[in-house]
Amino acid sequence: MKGRMISPGKAEGKALVSSEPIGFYGGIDIKTGIVIEKGHPLEGENVTNKILVFPCGKGSTVGSYVIYGIKKNNVAPAGIINQETETIVATGAILAGIPCVDKIDIKNIKTGDLLVLNADDGEVIVK
Amino acid sequence: MHLTKEEEKILDGEKGEVTERLFRLLVRLGEIYGADKMIPVGSVQVAGVSYKSISDPGTAFLEDMASKGAKVQVLTYLNPAGMDLENWKELGFPKDFAKNQLRIMDAFKKMGIVVTSTCTPYLAGNLPRFREHIAWSESSAVSFSNSVIGARTNREGGPSALAAAICGVTPNYGLHLWENRQPTVKVKVDADLSYNSDFGALGWYIGKQVKNKKPIFTGIKNANTDQLKALGAAMAASGAVALYHVKDLTPEADLVEDKGLETINFGKGELKETYDKLNTGKKPDIVIFGCPHASLREISQVADRVNGKHLKKPVWICTSRMVKEASERMGYNEIIAKAGGSVVADTCMVVSPIEQMGYKTTGVNSGKAANYLPGFCKQEVCFANIDDLVEGQL
């Protein structure tokens, strides 16, 4: 699948797919990388080293710092794939240096799929 | 994207390492979102202030910039901090938390940022004009300035707002352009909305459904700025709504096209359903008003209700330092303190470490707070109107 590069880099890993948007601030614990938003489809899951796949960001604009923080705390996803990346996630991914692409039809990806993400070319391969 | 000669020089490092790094972030964002150029901003509001939200990595990031001499170019305000910057000891904020919070405030001050700490800068001396380009980041302040004032800002991430403040510009895309300010969904309201919490419930329900769309509301007969603030804040929390219009009430509502849009109905049933859904707790240990930060009118409404009474359990009202000063002069703070409550400045329940302070269930009249408290503060929530909440603490 071909999308748009948001933040450069390459990553490989297992997909963790959310059908719902993710708000990083209040949604993901900055120390552990665990999804803490009550009632979220990924509640209790750990994003560390996964390729995190979700439609778009939501909620607080402090989310960029949470993305930067989970990277510094070594609990960040290896890559991010969105339907549509908004500024909050884009800023966080660029600053943290997490490869990120958007304009991908995320319905084609399931949790557990092995993904190769080449953000430089905006490319996602499901192995 | 077209860059001026001056801007090219920033990329060559002529204005220092920090400015170069932050300008690169703005250029990258501009390229992603198809900006044609950079535009000057009138003011900035920076989110990511509480130590609880940005923790050690964020603190190090800010201190690094401040130590390298970064300075803001335009009027720049701050989002709430994690504690009352003056009365933190009396209110029981942990000491080590306070130490880290004060480090963050020092870094901001060094960069020339006004250390205001409020999510309602427009009530505290940072008021943009209609159609002014700004770069604000706190999600409810973004919503208010776009929707109620008609200024123009995207939802900036904390660091991208800081970049705009230090470079004085933002990429020209998204809500800075008139064609992107058109509504994309219609909301027909058929319910009596009287309490501010009713507007919070409406906002929470709609934000959840429309995600990042731009709603235009019909059927809201009247709403003051406190109520519009509550509406926008909730929509920006349960969804990512950065701009909404309300027929006959907001400045751009008559200028946009609303024909042929998908319609969502919101009636009495949806209102009740939302109150039920947001209530996860039974009885609050603490009631907190002021999310977003209370206006003077909202503080006076609490003062009226507790005047001469005795609160058995704590009631806080969060606000900006400036509004707290006005409230002091009116005697509201004293009335509330005598009843056993507190007017808390510079912070709010969402960004303060209330879970470390022994509270398990929080009562709120804010759809935004009800959205965040369970995840971020591990709180059960009682969502109700001001009368029921105050009554319950007496």
- Looking up residue A84, the CATH number of its domain turns out to be 3.50.30.10
Q: Which residues of A touch B160 (CB under 8 A)?
A: 64, 87, 91
- State yes or no: pLDDT of A89 exceeds 80: yes
**Domains of chain B, each with CATH number or no CATH:** 5-178 (3.30.499.10), 182-277 (no CATH), 279-393 (3.30.499.10)
- State yes or no: pLDDT of B349 exceeds 80: no
- What is the C-alpha separation between B323 and B290, in angstroms, rounded? 11
Q: CB–CB of A36 and B376 under 8 A?
A: yes
- What is the C-alpha separation between B215 and B146, in angstroms, rounded? 13
| The predicted structure's pLDDT at residue B351 | 79
| The predicted structure's pLDDT at residue B356 | 85
Consecutive H or E run containing A63: helix A63-72
| B298-315 pLDDT per residue, tens | 999 999 999 999 999 999
Average pLDDT of the segment spanning B280-289: 95
- State yes or no: pLDDT of A16 exceeds 80: yes
> Is the CB of residue B359 less than 8 Å from the CB of residue B285?
yes
**Total structural domains in chain A?**
1
Say how many C-beta atoms besides its own lie within 10 A of residue A27's C-beta: 25
Q: CB–CB of A62 and B57 under 8 A?
A: no
Residue with tokens 């979700």: A54
> Is the CB of residue B183 less than 8 Å from the CB of residue B261?
yes
| B1-48 pLDDT per residue, tens | 999 999 999 999 999 999 999 999 999 999 999 999 999 999 999 999
Q: Which residues of A touch B239 (CB under 8 A)?
A: 21, 58
CA A16 to chain centre: 9
Identify the band that residue B182 occupies on the pLDDT scale cut at 50, 70 and 90: very high
| B81-139 pLDDT per residue, tens | 999 999 899 888 899 999 999 999 999 999 999 998 999 999 999 999 999 999 999 99
- Chosen for mutation from A43, A62, A89, A120 (greatest number of chain B CBs closer than 10 Å) is A62
| The predicted structure's pLDDT at residue B169 | 98
Q: Which of A55, A59, A72 sits opposite B139 (nearest CB)?
A: A59
Average pLDDT of the segment spanning B367-376: 91
- State yes or no: pLDDT of B193 exceeds 80: yes
- State yes or no: pLDDT of A59 exceeds 80: no
| The predicted structure's pLDDT at residue B212 | 87
| The predicted structure's pLDDT at residue B326 | 97
Average pLDDT of the segment spanning B263-288: 97
Average pLDDT of the segment spanning B277-301: 96
| B319-343 pLDDT per residue, tens | 999 999 999 999 999 999 999 999 9
CA B68 to chain centre: 29
| The predicted structure's pLDDT at residue B65 | 94
> Over chain B, what HEC string results?
CCCCHHHHHHHCCCCCHHHHHHHHHHHHHHHHCCCCCEEECCEEEECCCCHHHHHHHHHHHHHHHHHCCCCCCCEEEECCECCCCCCHHHHCCCHHHHHHHHHHHHHHHHCCCCCCCCCCHHHCCCCCCCCCECEECCHHHHHHHHHHHCCECCCCCHHHHHHHHHHCEEECCHHHCHHHHCCCEEEEEECCCCCHHHHHHHHHHHHHHHCCCCEEEECCCCCCHHHHHHHHHHHHHHCCCCCCEECCCCCCCCCCCCCCCCEEEEEHHHHHHHHHHHCCCCCCCEEEECCCCCCHHHHHHHHHHHCCCCCCCCEEEEECHHHHHHHHHHCHHHHHHHHCCEEEECECCCCCCHHHHCCCEEEECCHHHHHHHHHHCCCEEEECCHHHHHHHHC
Q: Does B159 touch chain A (CB under 8 A)?
A: yes
Instruction: Name the average pLDDT for chain B.
Output: 95
| The predicted structure's pLDDT at residue B33 | 93
Identify the band that residue A87 occupies on the pLDDT scale cut at 50, 70 and 90: confident
Identify the band that residue B266 occupies on the pLDDT scale cut at 50, 70 and 90: very high
Q: What is the pTM of this model?
A: 0.92
Residue of B nearest to A122 (CA): B32
Look up residue B255 and give its two tokens: 């200028």
Q: Does B33 touch chain A (CB under 8 A)?
A: yes
Average pLDDT of the segment spanning A66-90: 95
Residues of A contacting chain B (CB within 8 angstroms): 4, 6, 21, 23, 25-27, 30-31, 36-38, 55-66, 68-69, 71-73, 84-88, 90-92, 94-95
Domain containing residue A63: 4-126
Look up residue A115 and give its two tokens: 């993904």
Q: Which residues of A touch B29 (CB under 8 A)?
A: 87, 90-91, 94
- Of chain A, the percentage scoring pLDDT greater than 90 comes to 89
How far are the Cα atoms of A23, B1, B73, B147 from residue B30, in angstroms, in the given order?
Answer: 22, 7, 20, 23
| The predicted structure's pLDDT at residue B357 | 85
* Cis preceding linkage at B284, omega within 30: no
| The predicted structure's pLDDT at residue B394 | 92
**β-bridge partners, B266:** B189
| The predicted structure's pLDDT at residue B92 | 86
How many residues are given for chain A?
Answer: 127
- State yes or no: pLDDT of B223 exceeds 90: yes
Least confident of A98-107, B121-130, B355-364: B355-364
Q: Which of A7, A18, A19, A60 is catalytic?
A: A60
- State yes or no: pLDDT of B386 exceeds 80: yes
| The predicted structure's pLDDT at residue B378 | 87
Q: CB–CB of A62 and B158 under 8 A?
A: yes
* Active-site annotation holds for A60: yes
- What is the C-alpha separation between B92 and B286, in angstroms, rounded? 14
Shortest Cα distance from A48 to chain B (angstroms)? 17
Q: Does B145 touch chain A (CB under 8 A)?
A: no
Q: Which residues of A touch B161 (CB under 8 A)?
A: 61
Q: CB–CB of B372 and A26 under 8 A?
A: yes
